[in-house]
Amino acid sequence: MATANDETSPKKARTDCTKKARIVVCGAGWWSQGWHLPHLHRNPNSEIAAIVEPNPAPKCVEGDSKTTDELRELYSVPVFRSMDDLLASEVARMVDGIIICTSHASHHEVGMKAMSAGWHILIEKPMTTDPFEAFELTKAASSYGKALMVNNSANFRQQSKRAHDLVRGGRIGEVKHVSCALFSPLAWLFHNPANVGWVKPTGTMLGNGFAWGQLSHTFAWVYLVTGLTPKSVFCHMSYSGTTGADIYDSATVRCTGGATISVQGIGDIPGSCKKVDNKIIGTEGMLLFSGDIVESTGSGENSCVSEGLVLQRHDGNNEKFPGFEFENFEKEGNGPESVQTLIAACLGQNIFNAADADVGCKTVVSIEAMYRSAKLGQEVEVRASESA
């Protein structure tokens, strides 16, 4: 068992003088308590500057949760009840970055306040659930001198950057079609009415469930790798009988320029593995990226069965890149690549922003259109910034 003097203790002494990225964690729920806070504390290049959480006893959808008093004691950091309280304090002057892991509908408000403070920003996915809020964040980020990233952790992994370079470098020619699927063993999450943030809409949301909760990863990956821009969506959804959350999603996206995207999402499969299957087809070949990821949030295990990243061309000049890397939800270590990229940005290092506001915005308008289409039973145009 760890003691206060043990190196594994959150209160362990820090004796080095190396500059550390001072990062605020806004929102102290499930993912913050299980991942962000311990990751930032363990990472030798970062430290927690403050926690912002209005609820003195935040709830976690899985496992035990700590009160904000317990978190203050555990990490020896100040806790603020609102962003306004933090911004009015002396602590705000010492902050380099922020991780926003509040409810979907609050991301825009917190993100705009963080930009006003001049901090590097990592927003939990989805960037927001309102297209017009997404447009505003994207416009502000375009002239912002700091990084604004969305925590689509899959995008920041090595194989995703490789896929981006291959497709953007023309190795499959002009992209004509994308087939992508994400199947997850998350019945325990989406069928439970107590998991309000995952199954019930808030703010201007038209619905909530697997599309916002998981397909946001898939869309962000596709838009990073291909650079496609969505134009219209036709979608069918089936819903949980206990929560009303969408569990089975199937959609076709038409993009500007004529390319199409076929998307499938299922949040109720047996077993412990998430199954990812992405295929990008172009005029000169195709890129395949698929595998199984063990999702064991209790132990943080991450393993897979995969063929890796495969490039197949009409001219036979094929390539295969072993290893499969999609989402990173490991509980141990110093944090996923997305968090480490935020830390690097805070320390003034050059970064590749694999899930910027533009990718985040395309994801938001695509998923919002899925919910509109499913309700109307017809193809709909994605929201356009000109109508904001």
Distances (CA, A) of 236 to 243, 264, 329, 371, 377: 18, 10, 29, 9, 7
**What is the pLDDT at residue 59?**
83
The side-by-side arrangement of strands in the sheet containing 380-381 is: 319-321, 304-313, 285-294, 273-282, 175-183, 260-266, 246-255, 230-239, 380-381
Element (H, E) at 75: helix 68-75
Element (H, E) at 341: helix 337-346
* 284-319 pLDDT tens trace: 999 999 988 765 444 444 455 566 899 999 999 999
pTM: 0.92
Identify the CA nearest to 371 among candidates 28, 184, 126, 191: 126
In the chain, the N- to C-terminal Cα span, in Å, equals 55
**What is the pLDDT at residue 297?**
41
Q: What is the CA radius of gyration of the chain?
A: 21
Residue ranges in the chain whose pLDDT is less than 70:
1-17, 294-307, 386-388
Structure tokens at 319: 């390539």
**What is the pLDDT at residue 13?**
38
* 326-354 pLDDT tens trace: 888 888 899 999 999 999 999 999 999 99
* 110-157 pLDDT tens trace: 999 999 999 999 999 999 999 999 999 999 999 999 999 999 999 999
